Structure 1
Amino acid sequence: MAKSSSQFLCSECGWSGSKWFGRCPNCGEWGTIEEFHEARVTPTARGGASRTTAAGAGVTGRGVGTSAGLGAVSMKDLMRAATDTTLQPAERIPTGFSEYDRVLGGGIVPGAVILMAGEPGVGKSTLLLETAGHVAATVGVATVGAASGESGESGKSGESGEDEKPASVLYISGEESLAQIRMRAMRIGAMQENLLLASTTDLDTVVTLIAQEKPALAIVDSAQTIHSSRVDGIPGGSTQVREVATALIDVAKAQDIPLLLVGHVTKDGSIAGPRTLEHLVDVVCQFEGDPQTALRLLRAVKNRFGPTDEVGCFDMSGEGIEEVKDPSGLFMSDGTDAENAAPAGTCVSFTIDGHRSLPIEVQTLVTDSVLPAPRRATNGVDTNRLAMLVAVLYRHAHVNLLGKDLYVSTIAGGQAKEPACDLAIVAALASAAAQKPIPRTTAAIGEISLTGQVRPVPRIQHRIREAARLGFTRILVPRARGGLRYERPGEVSIVEVSSLADVVRELKLS
């Protein structure tokens, strides 16, 4: 009989301990500690807890196949030299989104387990269901093409592929019924004949479905809703999430099936459940976005098969999620006047997100204040940073905004919190105060120090090239140091400034 031990678990952050606390010692939340009994499951009860993959060896998984045992495999079969040419990487599976493929490093690696996390309602399930539709369409065409090629070669049109199952994509949901999943698939255009849908919360059923169908791609939505009857604990608890993740990883690795796993997040934005969940999987993706805007950003926090500094841009609509291959236009307004100048109080900067340089348009409004304490309202700009820039602007450029109401915002939920956007913020403030517009073809990139100096920022040459590509002809940048010179792409005019006084003079805002 399996032994059990009494422990206490925090339902918010996953902390576990042997004593009860009214307040969680890890996350500080009150009333989240609950007692549970964690069963210590033996390998026999688990249906085999190890996985062995080798030439001529059996595969042992949780309820998947039968174990050949290490006794049937020589140690030589378990090892391969690093120079062995038979260990070639499998071809990646395209997701149907070039932005998603770039974040993953070129597509989905067979046998990889990818964890997708994000806030509720951000669009995780929609993105994965749409991905399932794209992959199902791709593997369906490939299967038909392979079958027709085999039949033409063998001359037996009725026999080729008769014993082979067509490649499929399996989407398992523990949150929605089959009718609800199908309704969403119809809305986003993900209906495919070889897209299989299942609705269950039982771990054994999920593992059996994946093992029997052997799909080209399996999606489980979500890890916190699946539970195992072999261990104690509520669904979503640390014990259950660890058991579910281990079982799904076992079957994915043993069958070489790529698995997309949805993970919930807590109130502070971290992935719910034990931290070991992120260590077990191969890739951890974070799907971010402001619920008030349609912009969605996909980042790879951990990636064993590619970079972790890429970002993918998506647009959320009623018909599903669309990728934004060139997000430059999202963060800039398109209104211009006859003299190709933006309204007073606007300036464009360029921020770095991963390997991508994005334009950020800063808009400001300066009005006389009728309040004892002038109002400071920001959107996409750090309020404390704005207060510092206003003080520096007054002290070193003699532009007095201390008694004014200031409203600073960016376009379409863009974030101008990087220090490289300081120069654009002060330029926009000075433009709004002087009621003199800055030409739309002018951009400003640089950090402002407390002494009023314009300091260099990382990867500035990359920002300059992106500005030139978008049609900017005049770019204000920090003065190059050490005798270096900036590379000037095309006919772009590079204006080097060293202080706020230079900025006001160059933009003719005094």
Structure 2
Amino acid sequence: MAKVKTKFICHSCGYESPKWLGRCPNCQQWNTFVEEIQEVTGNRHAGFSHHSPLTSDRKAVPLTTVESKEETRVLTNSVELNRVLGGGIVNGSLVLIGGDPGIGKSTLLLQVSNQLATKGLKVLYISGEESVKQTKMRADRLGITSGNLYVLSETDMLFIEQTIQEIKPDFTVIDSIQTIYHPDVTSAPGSVSQVRECTSGMMRIAKRSGIPIFIVGHVTKEGAIAGPRVLEHMVDTVLYFEGERHHSFRILRAVKNRFGSTNEIGIFEMKEEGLNDVANPSEVFLEERSMGSSGSTVVASMEGTRPILVEVQSLISPSTFGNPRRMATGIDHNRVSLLMAVLEKRVGMLLQNQDAYLKAAGGVKLDEPAIDLAIAISIASSFRDTPTRATDCFIGEVGLTGEIRRVSRIEQRVREAAKLGFKRIIIPRNNIGGWEINQPIQIIGVATINEALQVAFD
């Protein structure tokens, strides 16, 4: 008779412990251990006593003898999705997409499934959360009528593997991985062991058969994908679907991609007929900009390989409390505090008794050093209640001594600003030279934050 015992697993990193611990010794997270029942058989782990025959694909070979070639990709009708994936869907890849409930993950994957099915590919859409009729109702709203799209409502991992072997689809979607369970694992669906085992099974299917598989992952209240952290390490690509549920725009961000650039983003707009690509996101982010208002600047930020122009807004007001407030949306809070300290020390602005509220308009998140100059100019504009020129764009990293440091890919940023009609662009002086741009835009190089302020408010 099998011996039944329990173990405690950290749902953040998958660390196992024979007893409950308040803090995980591996990832240092608190209150992450959950108890699971483990069934141990007498000869489950046979060690090295059993030797399987070494086939040609299991032998170690010199790296120089391995043939490398470009991955075969399948293009969808969505230009934004193709860009985020690095140029299309790679055969045999395992892609994880996460996002808040109701953000549009199932809608996006159902539309992609229909696009591939209309090209003659056989697509299998497996839903563990909805019945076949519910999936059909969503498909009717999206206008999906392809006969190559197969739908299955199932949560049993073994039955899913059998169905894939019978149908032999060219593309598979699992919605979602937290609802799938393996009968040989005694824990409940969604637990660390179940998610890890089911994802491992999906990975074996994808690599063995060459079928690209998209799996949907739930997220925690902090915004991270639920389940063990090893889940993100196992898959080839991790995508986050972001955005406000009450706003129409959605951002698809790649945080891991073995076949393309990381931190690439795609912009979508949610409409009644589904998700549509946004061809020019810079224009969308700037279309509601208020001209002539203080505290508003524009920065050309790089998101992966794409330059995007985003409006940075600041509101500086006298504080009525002893400790002034510092709030930021879409911008790192520590970066704001650092830049305010630089302005106070190097420029002489008395900001220690001022509340500061900053925002990156449009719901985009900015996290690169090149946005420093735009943030600093925006804070100074709101503090002085003096607007900058509406046709100015600011790029540069601000150092602690007040210097403006060079940034990468300056040509692409300048070209994007010129394309949208900006007349001047203020960049680091060290970035000038070595490149040419045939655009009607004035390029001004600055070396310090004081020079940038003089140019911005001349």
Q: Which TM-score applies when normalising by structure 1? A: 0.77
Cα distance change, pair 290–392 in 1 and its aligned pair in 2 (3 A): same
User: Unaligned stretches of 5+ in structure 1?
Assistant: 44-49, 51-68, 140-166
1:476 positional shift: 1.0
Q: Structure 2, unaligned stretches of length 5 or more?
A: 45-50
* Matching residue within 180, 183, 187 for 1:226: 180
Aligned equivalent of 2:443, options 474, 494, 500: 494
The aligned counterpart of 2:456 is 507
In the alignment, the residues of structure 2 paired with residue 31 and residue 423 of structure 1 have an alpha-carbon distance, to the nearest angstrom, of: 40
Partner Cα separation in structure 2 for residue 109 and residue 354 of structure 1: 19
In 1, the alpha carbon distance for the partners of 2:64 and 2:385 equals: 68
- On the 8 A contact 1:41/1:231 being kept in 2, the answer is no
The 3 A distance-change label for structure 1 pair 348 and 297 is same
Which residue identity is paired with 1:494?
I
Paired residues in the alignment total: 453
Listed one character per residue, the Cα deviations across residues 370-405 of structure 1 (whole Å, up to 9, x for unaligned) are 555545443333344333333433443344444444
Residues 209 and 451 of structure 1: CA distance in aligned 2, closer, same or farther (over 3 Å): same
Check whether the contact 1:488–1:494 (CA below 8 A) recurs between aligned residues: no
Matching residue's letter, 1:308: T
Q: Verify: 1:132 aligned to 2:133, yes or no.
A: no
Q: Distance in 1 between matches of 2:230 and 2:112?
A: 26
Segment drifting more, 94-103 vs 313-322: 313-322
Question: What residue in structure 2 maps to residue 436 of structure 1?
Answer: 386
Matched, 1:193 2:143: no
Aligned to 1:241: 195
Cross-structure match for 1:264: 218
RMSD: 3.6
Q: Does 1:352 align with 2:307?
A: no
Q: Which amino acid aligns with 1:38?
A: E
Matched ranges for 1:44-443 at <5 A: 75=56, 91-139=72-120, 167-291=121-245, 293-334=247-288, 342-443=292-393
CA contact (8 A) 2:315 2:379 kept: yes
Partner of residue 47, structure 2: none
C-alpha distance 292-377 of structure 1, shift in aligned 2 (>3 A): farther
SS in 2 for 1:205: helix
Residue 94 of structure 1 deviates from its aligned partner by 2.0
- CA deviations on 1:238-294 (whole Å, 9 max, x unpaired) are 322233223333333443322212223345544444444444433333333344544
- The aligned residue for residue 470 of structure 1 is 420
Residue pair 1:441, 1:471 contacting (<8 A) in 2 also: yes
- Would the aligned equivalents of 1:345 and 1:431 in 2 still touch at CA under 8 Å? yes
Contact persistence 2:424–2:443 (CA under 8 A)? yes
- 1:212 deviates by 0.8
**Structure-2 separation of matches of 1:350 and 1:90:** 32
Q: In structure 1, what is the Cα distance between the partners aligned to 2:60 and 2:36?
A: 44
**Contact conserved, 2:292 with 2:387, CA < 8 A, in 1?**
yes
The AA in structure 1 aligned to 2:276 is E
1:495 aligns to what SS in structure 2? strand
Who is 2:16 aligned against? 16
Mark the CA change 1:289 to 1:36 in structure 2 (over 3 Å): closer, same or farther.
same
Q: Structure 1 pair 80/187, CA: closer, same or farther in 2 (3 Å)?
A: farther
Equivalent AA in structure 1 for residue 427 of structure 2: V
Do the aligned partners of 1:99 and 1:323 also contact (CA within 8 Å) in 2?
yes
Whether contact under 8 Å (1:375, 1:406) holds in the other structure is yes
Partners of 2:33 and 2:107 in 1: CA distance: 31
Secondary structure of 2:90's counterpart equals coil
